[in-house]
């Protein structure tokens, strides 16, 4: 199984061909009585065709907000204040309601963080699979049922479970059904927001191995969000580490694992094997991540950073290349000049 | 199925408890209430009728268990004794002559209020804060807060007297022979409009608000988000995903109300001089007509239990989760 899970050998070059998803300078804020939180504060990232892209970071750093922004599922009090999100070269943020409806699930689908409650308790799983086909492909019921049955077999569930209701399935099965629904229309992008958090470790591994297999045969791209860094490193080709609404390091997963450059990434990597429960303690970092109280001056990470210097309190590091296919936002790490761009002597 | 059988068992036990209570209550009364009750009609009664009533109230020399068995046997034969206030009509014929009107009025207005109220609630919640949601709930609550009596009189005055659109009283025009002809049905419907309308007006707000609130809570559920993410059409999400779940609590209240329809609508019957159980119940209590009071209560209990069982059946169809629990 672990051979299936071996990803990350590819040095992130896939992203350089036309990206499936391209987020540029995305900003999302939540305005509540307590004030405004910039939950996503200028995030840019590209995901290439067939690439599995991991997004890691502490609870509350803004991962789900990015995922929901891409699906355009954010609702008040969330507001996208800036940026573009291009899916297959089309800006998702400017689609009309009807265009958006057609794009959802056909081009991008999502497995939710709370996938346990993602299915309607009063409809059979068959009905909930079939309506994807009947809506998007105007398929007759009979054919939709056959397609749904086929989908179930993809995730190793016997088609007779089509008649089952969600509560009749185990957690792992329910999650596999949700994944099957997500793959129904062969989308180019699958977003998985902590898809296995509620499951036990064995089931979790099983399911991820299955995703990897399906990903290889169907070729979709994945935006994968999880707290489980070890799982993410195994599964994804490239990873981004997020802190307080910003990406602080982006690199191929194995590079990030062996040679993290940002002190926050190092802390995350040191905290693995699997993170679960209260993140801050396991990270061995003092204090909590910045919240609505506002962002610290200079580098947001400086109050907790073991390497912080005086300059960190003043200067805000930007995310920039620090090695080939490797970006980081830390004053300690010198900028990397791509060889071809080096000024000729 | 096992769930339904268990429920049925429960209702049968409740029914039995109710009949038994009905049997013992008069026997627990001090003195000889029966003689007092009979006083007003005694001289019109034939001896065998008095004997039957005495038996009904346990004033015979038979052992208690024998009386109990006789009583239950009578109930199942539909024999609930003889009405004192409408002597010598049997209680069962008093009830059966009125219950049709009560059911017609009660069920019609309840169903209209529930269907319309829930539909309005669904739409208001779906377009939260928009026109329907900001105008209807306060308006209906306002109307619902009027004393019913006042509202009914106003409707009667406006639509009955001033505009003359609808008849002022009774369930059908005097002297018309009940039949299954179109003209008779139309006449009955015409007489039904005002009484039913006033009941709908005062009750619809509650249904709408209840549905709106559950519906809003439901739209925050994860499966609604997923349904939106799936790119389903708004109407499908609203009805198949949100409303189907939000409806469940409404079904329970509907069952309750349906059962109590049988108790009649006293105020409506009074204002519109509409026949029905409510008025009979009032009369029987005022006239110390114990057999009739008991008969009506027994009928109401039976109806409430039956309606609840009906709701259980519907519920099982709508919520698969109760099938296992
Ligand atoms: N509905 C909301 N109202 C107000 N603020 C919110 C809301 N949802 C999220 N936030 C804010 O946005 C920040 C990012 O939330 P988000 O759910 O994206 O975090 P996350 O990285 O997915 O966390 P987790 O790992 O716990 O799922 C949070 O710190 C919170 O302050
Ligand atoms: S910029 Fe300074 S505070 Fe921020 S991560 Fe680097 S060393 Fe730490
Ligand atoms: Mg999240």
B9-24 per-position pLDDT tens digit:
999 999 999 889 888 8
Give the model's pLDDT for residue B173: 81
Ligand nearest to the CA of A35: 1
Residues β-bridged to residue B208: none
Question: Three-state secondary structure along A120-168?
Answer: CCCCCHHHHHHHHHHHHCCCCHHHHHHHHHHHHHHCCCCHHHHHCCHHH
Least confident of A18-27, A303-312, B176-185, B240-249: B176-185
Q: Could you read off the pLDDT of B56-83 as tens digits, one per residue?
A: 665 667 778 888 888 888 888 888 888 8
- How far is Cα B273 from Cα A123, in angstroms, rounded to an integer? 47
Q: Which residues of B touch A162 (CB under 8 A)?
A: none
Strand order in the sheet with A35-47: A35-47, A21-32, A78-87, A90-91
Strand spans (E) along chain A:
21-32, 35-47, 52-56, 78-87, 90-91, 108-111, 189-193, 221-225, 238-243, 246-252, 320-323, 326-328
Tokens linked to A119: 């299915």
Q: In this predicted structure, what is the pLDDT of residue A58?
A: 86
Confidence of residue A276 (pLDDT cuts 50, 70, 90): very low
B241 touches chain A (CB under 8 A): yes
pLDDT (tens digit, 9 = 90+) per residue, A206-232? Answer: 888 888 899 999 999 999 998 778 888
For residue A245, which atom of ligand 1 is closest to its CA?
Answer: 14
pTM of the model: 0.83
Q: Give the span between the Cα atoms of B90 and B237, in whole angstroms.
A: 54
When mean pLDDT is compared over A3-12, A156-165, B68-77, the highest value belongs to A156-165
Flag whether residue A186 sits within 8 Å of chain B, measured between CB atoms.
Answer: no
- Looking at residue A336, its pLDDT comes to 75
| pLDDT confidence bin for A6, thresholds 50/70/90 | very low
> How far is B126 from B142, CA to CA, in rounded Å?
22
Statement: residue A272 has pLDDT above 80:
no
**In the prediction, which pLDDT does A9 show?**
41
The DSSP symbol for A35 reads E
Ligand nearest to the CA of A260: 2
Contact by Cβ (8 Å): B199, B268? yes
Residues sharing a CB contact under 8 Å with residue B136, sequence separation 6 or more, in sequence order:
B120, B124, B208
What's the sign of the alpha-carbon dihedral B92, B96, B102, B106? positive
pLDDT at position A341 is 56
What angle do helix axes B290-318 and B2-28 make, rounded to 10 degrees?
A: 170
The values of phi and psi at residue A223, to 5°, are -105, 110
Looking at beta carbons, which pairs linking A290-297 to residues 24 or more positions away fall under 8 Å? A290/A244, A291/A37, A291/A60, A292/A34, A292/A35, A292/A36, A292/A37, A295/A38, A295/A41, A295/A244, A295/A245
Q: How far is the CA of A277 from the centre of ligand 2 (A)?
A: 26
pLDDT-based confidence at residue A333 (cuts at 50, 70, 90): confident
pLDDT score recorded for residue A282: 44
Neighbouring C-alpha atoms within 13 Å toward the C-beta of A130: 17
More confident residue, B317 or B119: B119
Q: Do A73 and B225 touch (CB under 8 A)?
A: yes
Residue A104 per-residue DSSP state: B
How far apart are alpha carbons A66 and A83 in whole angstroms?
12
Whether A112 sits inside 8 A of B222 (CB atoms) is yes
**Averaged pLDDT, A283-295:** 60
- Strands in A189-193's sheet, in edge-to-edge order, are A108-111, A189-193, A221-225, A52-56, A238-243, A246-252, A326-328, A320-323
pLDDT in tens, A247-263: 999 999 999 988 999 99
CA A290 to ligand 2 centroid distance, Å: 15
The alpha-carbon radius of gyration of chain A (Å, integer) is 21
Cβ contacts (< 8 Å) between A117 and chain B: which residues?
A: 221-223
Over residues A171-198, the pLDDT tens digits come to 889 988 999 999 999 999 999 998 877 7
| pLDDT surpassing 90 at residue A102 | yes
Q: Looking at the predicted structure, is the pLDDT value of residue B183 above 90?
A: no
Band of pLDDT at residue B244, cut at 50, 70 and 90: very high
For residue A186, give the nearest of A108, A101, A70 by alpha carbon.
Answer: A108
Instruction: Please indicate whether residue B56 or residue A5 has the higher confidence score (pLDDT).
Output: B56
B99–chain A nearest CA distance, Å: 37
Weakest mean pLDDT among A289-298, B121-130, B229-238, B269-278:
A289-298
CA angle (A67, A186, A105) in 5-degree steps: 45
Residues in chain A with CB shorter than 8 Å from the CB of B324 are 167-168
User: Averaged over B178-185, what is the pLDDT?
Assistant: 84
**Per-residue CA distances from A162 to A126, B140, B237, B241, B323 (Å):** 4, 43, 20, 18, 17
Q: Is the per-residue pLDDT at B113 higher than 50?
A: yes
Ligand 2: atom nearest CA of A309 is 2
Which letter does DSSP use for residue A250 in this model? E
CA distance B234 to B240: 10
SS (H, E, C) B271-284: HCCCCCHHHHHHHH
Check if the interface score ipTM surpasses 0.95. Answer: no
Quick one: pLDDT band at residue A36, thresholds 50, 70, 90?
confident
CA distance B44 to B222: 71
pLDDT value, residue A35? 82
Judge whether A295 is closer than 8 Å to chain B, CB to CB: no
- pLDDT of amino acid B230: 96
Whether the pLDDT of residue A293 is over 70: the answer is no
Residue A44 and residue A23 in contact, taking contact as beta carbons nearer than 8 Å: yes
3-state secondary structure of B239: helix
pLDDT at A291: 57
Give CA–CA dist A117/A227, Å, rounded: 20
Is the CB of residue A55 below 6 angstroms from any atom belonging to ligand 1? Answer: no
Pairwise CA distance, residues A68 & A111, whole Å: 11
């Amino acid at each position: 199984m672990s051979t299936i899970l071996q990803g990350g050998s590819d040095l992130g070059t896939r992203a350089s061909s036309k990206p499936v998803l391209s987020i540029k300078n995305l900003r999302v804020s939540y305005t509540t009585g307590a004030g405004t939180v910039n939950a996503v504060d200028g995030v840019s990232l590209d995901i290439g065709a067939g690439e599995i892209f991991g997004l890691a970071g502490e609870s509350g750093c803004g991962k789900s907000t990015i995922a929901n922004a891409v699906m355009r599922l954010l609702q008040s009090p969330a507001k996208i204040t800036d940026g573009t999100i291009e899916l297959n070269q089309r800006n998702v943020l400017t689609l009309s309601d009807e265009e958006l409806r057609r794009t959802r699930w056909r081009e991008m689908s999502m497995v939710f963080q709370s996938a346990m409650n993602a299915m309607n308790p009063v409809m059979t799983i068959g009905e909930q699979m079939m309506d994807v086909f009947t809506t998007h492909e105007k398929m007759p019921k009979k054919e939709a049922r056959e397609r749904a049955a086929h989908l179930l077999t993809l995730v190793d569930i016997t088609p007779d479970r089509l008649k089952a209701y969600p509560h009749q399935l185990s957690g792992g099965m329910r999650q596999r059904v949700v994944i099957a629904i997500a793959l129904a229309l062969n989308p180019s992008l699958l977003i998985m927001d902590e898809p296995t958090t509620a499951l036990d470790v064995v089931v979790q591994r099983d399911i991820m191995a299955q995703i990897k297999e399906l990903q290889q045969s169907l070729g979709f791209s994945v935006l994968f969000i999880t707290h489980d860094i070890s799982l993410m490193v195994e599964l994804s080709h490239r990873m981004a580490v997020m802190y307080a609404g910003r990406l602080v390091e982006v690199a191929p997963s194995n590079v990030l694992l062996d040679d993290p450059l940002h002190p926050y990434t190092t802390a995350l990597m040191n905290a693995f094997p699997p993170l679960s429960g209260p993140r801050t303690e396991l990270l061995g970092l003092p204090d909590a991540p910045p919240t609505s109280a506002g962002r610290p001056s200079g580098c947001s990470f400086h109050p907790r950073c073991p390497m912080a210097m005086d300059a960190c309190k003043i200067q805000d590091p930007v995310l920039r290349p620090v090695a080939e296919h490797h970006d980081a936002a830390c004053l300690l790490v010198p900028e990397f000049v791509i060889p071809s761009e080096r000024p000729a002597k | 199925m096992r769930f339904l059988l268990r429920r049925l068992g429960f209702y049968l036990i409740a029914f039995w408890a109710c009949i038994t209570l009905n049997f013992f209550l008069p026997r627990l009364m001090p003195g000889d209430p029966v003689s007092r009750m009979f006083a007003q009609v005694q001289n019109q009664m034939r001896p065998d009728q008095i004997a039957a009533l005495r038996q009904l109230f346990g004033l015979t020399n038979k052992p208690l268990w024998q009386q109990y068995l006789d009583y239950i046997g009578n109930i199942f034969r539909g024999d609930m004794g003889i009405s004192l206030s409408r002597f010598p009509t049997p209680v069962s014929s008093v009830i059966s002559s009125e219950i049709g009107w009560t059911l017609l009025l009660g069920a019609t207005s309840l169903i209209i209020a529930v269907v319309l109220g829930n539909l309005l609630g669904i739409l208001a919640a779906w377009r939260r804060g928009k026109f329907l949601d900001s105008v209807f709930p306060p308006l209906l609550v306002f109307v619902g807060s009027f004393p019913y009596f006042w509202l009914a009189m106003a409707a009667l005055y406006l639509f009955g007297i001033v505009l003359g659109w609808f008849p002022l009283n009774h369930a059908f025009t005097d002297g018309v022979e009940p039949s299954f002809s179109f003209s008779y049905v139309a006449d009955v419907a015409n007489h039904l409009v005002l009484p039913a309308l006033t009941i709908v007006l005062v009750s619809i707000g509650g249904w709408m608000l209840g549905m709106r609130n559950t519906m809003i809570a439901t739209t925050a559920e994860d499966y609604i988000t997923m349904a939106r993410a799936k790119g389903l059409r708004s109407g499908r999400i609203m009805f198949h995903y949100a409303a189907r779940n939000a409806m469940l609590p409404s079904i329970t209240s509907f069952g309750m109300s349906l059962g109590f329809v049988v108790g009649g609508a006293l105020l409506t019957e009074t204002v519109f001089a509409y026949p029905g159980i409510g008025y009979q119940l009032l009369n029987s209590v005022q006239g110390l007509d114990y057999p009739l009071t008991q008969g009506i209560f027994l009928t109401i209990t039976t109806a409430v239990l039956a309606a609840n069982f009906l709701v259980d059946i519907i519920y099982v169809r709508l919520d698969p989760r109760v099938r296992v629990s």
